[in-house]
Chains A and B, each alone.
Chain A
């Protein structure tokens, strides 16, 4: 654990001004462009119309940012492997698992930071947040779990390949359906049957609906009362986080000894 915290600390201390700016600006752009741009098109699908679309899709942007954060974290790990920086860790008397944890912690920290930024921007743009601190904590846990799951998948892929191009190609394939094959941008019922099935096995749907219920004032109303039950969201995200970590652990074990 000491080693994991050290590695996390090291990664975080490397955060330059530019990167922090990037971490900030990216979700802001998403909220503004998506929120404003899509609301004309999609707003009609959301009860209450245009004005509620920002609130409706803010959780989706959180998921998208977490996904982006995991991908970037995987790239960092791939880069450290390729440049040999991991050798410093490998000849040190630290558990191999701590290297995985250090990377995961870093990814989760950045994602949570972005999630908070997104909700703040959302509020500034008119979304209403429930005054419900336990709900916020629950929301943070959900985002963390989702982020852990994707961090695991990204780190597993980055452990298995030696080619940044291949890594990004695979990630790209995963990326699009995860966002669009979900309830992030439109209510489930507005989707065709096959897409609804896809959305139901997509962890993104669960983090999004979970956040809507925990953090927004009128999440249920926004989604026309057809939110996935909260307990399902919790279970799905826990399973997903476990799966991601397990994949990463297996991949780490074969990539580093």
Chain B
């Protein structure tokens, strides 16, 4: 039909006088992973809610899996899987019950339902806990169960709102593996949000940075990082910072100067070689450096540059 799993045009969502989402357009090719990054309150969850037919856009339109989210909501629902930012499991049920009731809502036959449940519980390694009440699960187990539930109906497009929120490194890596595997084996398209930059860098084919309801930068992680220059020098210090930064900006090898609170970051052509010059200039300009480091720029640096804030992990 077409090559895009998600096509959103100029989505706007207002809550009273809050513009939660302000003109977001997204084109996500089939069988790819798109990561939406943004500070708290940027509008990530609201965007996902509109795409998953939970709420209606104030303006704009979107097609998911080829169907219009407003006029063909039922068809969209048939073709998506969703896990929400907060855990939404019925504590009193067992893991297996949560899965089979979900399957029944989608009109699975009994045999189909049991087979799918068993397969997915095995995939997320919850077979042993399957017949225990969910209230006895750890956070990671609940998260894995929700992921399994989201996959139950073999969706074409999977929406994951902070799938690794609050998970330990083992669980996070495990979930990354599932996600990559799903894309490769099942040809899924995934839209996920995250506050972990390493996660987006690892997983995503394309990253969109959203702030105050607008997508302000989009591209593959590699593209975005390459645009940051070859190396990043990050430093903290005190003294006449303004004047120092001005002087730094005039150095030919400095490609960009960004600040976030007390942190200053320079994009330079070759970090190790330029470090001495940067420090020398600080001395002559009366700026005392307390801490300085050179690193290859990462997606976190990209994020910092465009949103001007450090991430607040939750």
Q: A10-B93, A10-B101, A91-B80 are in contact. Are A257 and B88 (CB under 8 A)?
A: no
Q: With both chains docked as a complex, state the minimum distance between the C-beta of B57 and any C-beta of chain A, in angstroms.
A: 11
Interface size classification for chain B: 20 to 34
Would you call A84 and B86 a contact (CB within 8 A)? Answer: yes
Which of B9-17, B103-111, B277-285 lies on the face that meets chain A? B103-111
Would you call A6 and B77 a contact (CB within 8 A)? Answer: no
Q: With both chains docked as a complex, state the minimum distance between the C-beta of B104 and any C-beta of chain A, in angstroms.
A: 4
B84 within 8 A of A: yes
A250 within 8 A of B: no
Question: Which residue of the partner chain B has the closest CB to A85?
Answer: B88
Contact residue among B55, B78, B80, B84 (Cβ-Cβ distance under 8 Å from A84) = B84
Contact residue among B82, B86, B90, B107 (Cβ-Cβ distance under 8 Å from A2) = B107
DSSP majority for the A interface?
helix
In the bound complex, residues from chain B placing their C-beta under 8 Å from that of A257 are 53-56
Question: Which residue of the partner chain A has the closest CB to B146?
Answer: A88
A89 within 8 A of B: yes
B62-106 CB mask vs A (1 if < 8 Å, else 0) is: 000000000000110110101010101110110001000110111
A92 within 8 A of B: yes
In the bound complex, residues from chain B placing their C-beta under 8 Å from that of A16 are 92
Would you call B82 and A91 a contact (CB within 8 A)? Answer: yes
Would you call A91 and B88 a contact (CB within 8 A)? Answer: no
A-B contact count (CB 8 A): 58
B98-130 CB mask vs A (1 if < 8 Å, else 0) is: 000110111100000000000000000000000
In the bound complex, residues from chain B placing their C-beta under 8 Å from that of A32 are none
Would you call A6 and B104 a contact (CB within 8 A)? Answer: yes
Question: Which residue of the partner chain A has the closest CB to B52?
Answer: A91
In the bound complex, residues from chain B placing their C-beta under 8 Å from that of A10 are 90, 93, 97, 101
In the bound complex, residues from chain A placing their C-beta under 8 Å from that of B149 are 88
Q: A87-B88, A92-B77, A93-B74 are in contact. Are A13 and B97 (CB under 8 A)?
A: yes
Would you call B106 and A92 a contact (CB within 8 A)? Answer: yes
Q: A93-B74, A93-B106, A257-B55 are in contact. Are A88 and B88 (CB under 8 A)?
A: yes
In the bound complex, residues from chain B placing their C-beta under 8 Å from that of A90 are 53-54
In the bound complex, residues from chain A placing their C-beta under 8 Å from that of B53 are 90-91, 257
A6 to B56, CA, bound (A): 26
In the bound complex, residues from chain B placing their C-beta under 8 Å from that of A85 are 88-90
A-B contact pairs, 28 of them (CB 8 A): A6-B104, A6-B105, A7-B105, A9-B104, A10-B90, A10-B93, A14-B90, A14-B93, A16-B92, A83-B88, A84-B86, A84-B88, A85-B88, A85-B90, A87-B84, A88-B102, A90-B53, A90-B54, A91-B52, A91-B53, A91-B77, A92-B102, A92-B105, A93-B74, A93-B75, A93-B77, A257-B55, A257-B56
A14-B92, A84-B84 known, 16 other contacts, Cβ within 8 Å:
A2-B107, A6-B104, A13-B93, A14-B90, A83-B86, A85-B88, A85-B90, A87-B54, A87-B88, A88-B102, A90-B54, A92-B106, A93-B77, A93-B78, A94-B105, A257-B54
